[in-house]
Structure 1
Amino acid sequence: MDYHHKRTLAEFNLELLNREIEALGEKNELLSTKLFTIQLIIEELVTNILKYGKQTGADNSIEIEIHTEKGKSVLIISDDTDIFNPLTAKEPDTTLSAEERDIGGLGLFLVRKKVQSLSYENTNGLNIVRAVIL
């Protein structure tokens, strides 16, 4: 299973991407739980890039790759906005009620719970998040 999607931030369409991911899941007979996890990670990370990524140029882009490695799905999301490591975001205090808790951070908290591993690196001006999904 190999998938590659690259768009500028201006032309990025999450709905289109989700349809492509669903078609990929059907074609490769992905379990619905794995497909849901891939879509959750993409939605959380891409939404953060689109909302908070400081653009460094008019043609900043997001690239998404999915492939299989030793029976596991590997999702790589890279962007060329300003350097930002989403893994350094403070984890929400889940012992507090929704009203008491600070806004934000819950999406990444869920992502961390759904993957075998999650890593970040910045290479040649690219923010690269790599998620390994069982």
Structure 2
Amino acid sequence: MDYQYKKTIADFDLEMLNREIEALCAENELLSAKLCTLQLIIEELATNIIKYGGKTGKDHSLEINIYTEKEKIVLIISDNTAAFNPLEAEDPDITQSSEERKIGGLGLFLVRKKVQSLTYENKNGLNIVKAVI
């Protein structure tokens, strides 16, 4: 693994994570070219996990792994919160104005547009999302 971040949801620190990813990207040209995309995807997925998955009251954790493979960036985010498949989330109606559109769904929509592939599996109580950028 080029990078691994693992914290409980209570200890998750997006600012620290972003600083670490920026430092990692400074050392890797491929990652550097996709820094904003990588940060957007991580923020959207992690925020959803924390906001919706962690409501069960358990001590949940979130793990982020980033590595490169054949000129592609692979991002794997896993958590032990409530099962949620982001691939099943309905796309927002982007033909409507922001005032007319229902709240929610735009972040996952952006994630799906920014990746080459996105997969999900729930294995041994873990949600595992793999994004190839």
Equivalenced residue count is 133
Secondary structure at the aligned position of 1:49 is classed as helix
TM-score, scaled to structure 1: 0.93
Secondary structure at the aligned position of 1:6 is classed as strand
TM-score, scaled to structure 2: 0.94
Secondary structure at the aligned position of 2:93 is classed as coil
Spell out structure 1 runs of 4+ moving beyond 4 A: none
Identity among equivalent pairs (%) = 72
- Listed as ranges, the gaps of 5+ residues in structure 2 are none
> 1:59-84: CA deviations, max 9, x gaps?
31000000111110000000000111
- Listed as ranges, the gaps of 5+ residues in structure 1 are none
Taking only aligned residues, the RMSD between alpha carbons, in angstroms, comes to: 1.5
Partner of 1:99: 99
For residues 38-77 of structure 1, what are the structure 2 equivalents within 5 Å?
38-55=38-55, 58-77=58-77
Structure with greater helix percent: 2
> 1:33-56: CA deviations, max 9, x gaps?
511111000000000011000455
For residues 19-30 of structure 1, what are the structure 2 equivalents within 5 Å?
19-30=19-30
Partner of 2:108: 108
Partner of 2:17: 17
Change (3 A) 1:125 1:57: farther
1:40 corresponds to which letter in structure 2?
L
2:118 corresponds to which letter in structure 1?
L
Q: Determine the C-alpha separation between the residues in 1 that align with 2:54 and 2:84.
A: 9
Partner of 2:84: 84
